[in-house]
C-alpha cells in the first residue's frame, strides 16, 4: 500500500484485508477499489468502467470504493 500511495496508484482487489488496513492506517491514500463479488475479472472491469464517471472524483482524491452485486459504496479517506 505504501508503494501505491507513493506512486499515486489505485489498488484493485477482492481481498478485504486492504479495507481493514486502510481504516486503521488513517491515511488519505491510496484509493482502494474492493470487489465484493465472485465475478470474473472481465465482469469486474466492466462494472468499474460503467461507474467510472460516478466515482472518478473519489478515485482521484482518496477513497475506499466497495463494489458489490447490488450497489457501490464510497468512503472518503481517511476513514474514522
Give pLDDT tens digits for 17-70. 988 888 888 899 999 999 998 889 999 999 999 999 999 999 999 999 999 888
Could you give phi then psi for residue 52, rounded to 5 degrees? -60, -45
Core vs surface per residue 5-23: b (16+ CB within 10 A) or e: beeeebbbeeeeebbeebe
What would the mean pLDDT of 71-78 be, rounded to a whole number? Answer: 94
Across the beta sheet with 10-13, the strand order is 10-13, 31-35, 63-67, 72-76
Q: What pLDDT does 52 receive?
A: 93
All structural domains of the chain with their residue ranges: 2-76
Q: Compute the radius of gyration of the chain from its Cα atoms.
A: 12
pTM of the model: 0.89
Q: What pLDDT does 59 receive?
A: 93
Amino acid at each position: 500500500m505504501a508503494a501505491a500511495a507513493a506512486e499515486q496508484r489505485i489498488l484493485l482487489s477482492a481481498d478485504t484485508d486492504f479495507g481493514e488496513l486502510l481504516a486503521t492506517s488513517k491515511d488519505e491514500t491510496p484509493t482502494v477499489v474492493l470487489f465484493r463479488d465472485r465475478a470474473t475479472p472481465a465482469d469486474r472491469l466492466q462494472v468499474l468502467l460503467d461507474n467510472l464517471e460516478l466515482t472518478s472524483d473519489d478515485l482521484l482524491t482518496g477513497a475506499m470504493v466497495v463494489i458489490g452485486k447490488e450497489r457501490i459504496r464510497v468512503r472518503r479517506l481517511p476513514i474514522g
